[in-house]
Amino acid sequence: MQSYPLTRMRRLRTNDAMRRLVSEHTLNPADFILPLFVTNGVGVREPIAAMPDVDRLSPDLIVEMCGECVTYGIPAVALFPRETRENKTERGEHAFNDQGLVQQTVRLIKDNYPDLLVITDVALDPYTSHGQDGLINDRGDVLNDETVDVLCKQALSHARAGADIVAPSDMMDGRIGSIRQTLEDAGFHHTAILAYSAKFASHFYNPFRDAVDSNAMLGKADKKTYQLDPANNEQAIQEVALDIAEGADMVMVKPGMMYLDMVARIREAFAVPTFVYQVSGEYAMLKAAAKENMLDEKTCVLETLLSFKRAGAHAILTYYALQAAKWLND
């Protein structure tokens, strides 16, 4: 008589009920943050060619989308502006205009959905005529300290508008401490900072840059002098440590799918809320493969999102947030 081991791992995979009972990680709409692209006007919906089913929306339609998020249990949205060319300047002054596109949209959202968290992007690339996240000199070098001064003004204007979380995505040195002090001095003690601490210089951002119209401004330049080299994980850990020491409440890994190792390492090393961004290029790949019937979209998207949770992410920024929430509710 053949002898079998007493432990048979397949017992825990016998049927769906058993698999759900012993599941180590689950997805919930509360895990998601929906990035939204806001543009000027009323009733404006502009499809983004590189990101199927994602549109730039005027503030009134952004509010409608926020209503759907509330209905399906998504706790937060993140705003990214597509400014007009005439509002793009060498020094990005429109970034801290209290009557600017983002600031107006934040106020409109909070007037209609006060309990929905609003996250705002703190960076200058949507506002600069050269497409860089910071100010530049005559040689085209991105200036660190001068940029931080402007970022502080931008973050403060977002806080004044009612943003719950400001999210510096610029990767300038020292900006978290400066923004935190600026917010404290102005009495915004409860405005949280989500630091894009582990943001890698990635080609997977290209569809996003088209969406906010910074690719055309950037031209042949790149952002490698301030975003992380994809080869360097120890530098990413150091960046996170510095941002936490300067007052970051949450940290971000970006992109997501190619950097799951960093999500896991950061979560384990620092035990702080760790977010991940499934970026535009990752979204576009899944959409393209699904369109060609190379994969089942729903199954693969949910598997991808689950991988972020398994790696240790507390929250996931994804353009699939609303669709995924609907799938989970169904």
Q: Tens digit of pLDDT for each residue in 159-217? A: 999 999 999 999 999 999 999 999 999 999 999 999 999 999 999 998 888 888 776 67
C-alpha distances in Å from residue 118, one per residue of 59, 141, 308, 310: 13, 32, 22, 26
Least confident segment among 125-139, 224-238, 292-306: 125-139
Q: Which of 6-15, 63-72, 262-271 has the lowest mean pLDDT?
A: 6-15
Per annotation, catalytic residue among 88, 254, 287, 309: 254
Mean pLDDT of 105-124: 98
Q: Is the pLDDT of residue 97 over 70?
A: yes
pLDDT at 215: 67
Residue 44: the pLDDT is: 97
Residue ranges of E strands in 93-191: 117-122, 165-168
Residue range 42-54, pLDDT digits in tens: 999 999 999 999 9
Q: Is 70 exceeded by the pLDDT of residue 1?
A: no
Q: Is-contact 151 132, C-beta < 8 A?
A: no
Catalytic (active site) residue 287: no
CATH class of 26-329: alpha beta
In this predicted structure, the answer to whether residue 303 has a pLDDT above a threshold of 80 is yes
Exactly one of 88, 199, 223, 309 is catalytic; name it.
199
Distance CA 237, CA 92 (A): 30
Out of 86-100, 140-154, 218-232, give the one with best mean pLDDT. Answer: 140-154
The per-residue pLDDT for range 209-223, each reduced to its tens digit, is 888 877 667 777 889
Kindly state the average pLDDT of the residues 62-78. Answer: 98
Share the mean pLDDT of the chain: 95
Q: How confident is the model at residue 131 (pLDDT cuts 50, 70, 90)?
A: confident
Is there a catalytic annotation at residue 254?
yes
Residue reference for tokens 């699939």: 320
- Scored b (16 or more CB within 10 A) or e, 128-164 reads bebbbbbbbeeeeebebeebbebbbbbbbbbbbbbbb
Amino acid letter, 228: L
**Is the pLDDT assigned to residue 313 strictly greater than 90?**
yes
Q: Decide if pLDDT at 107 tops 70.
A: yes
Percent of the chain scoring above 70 in pLDDT = 99
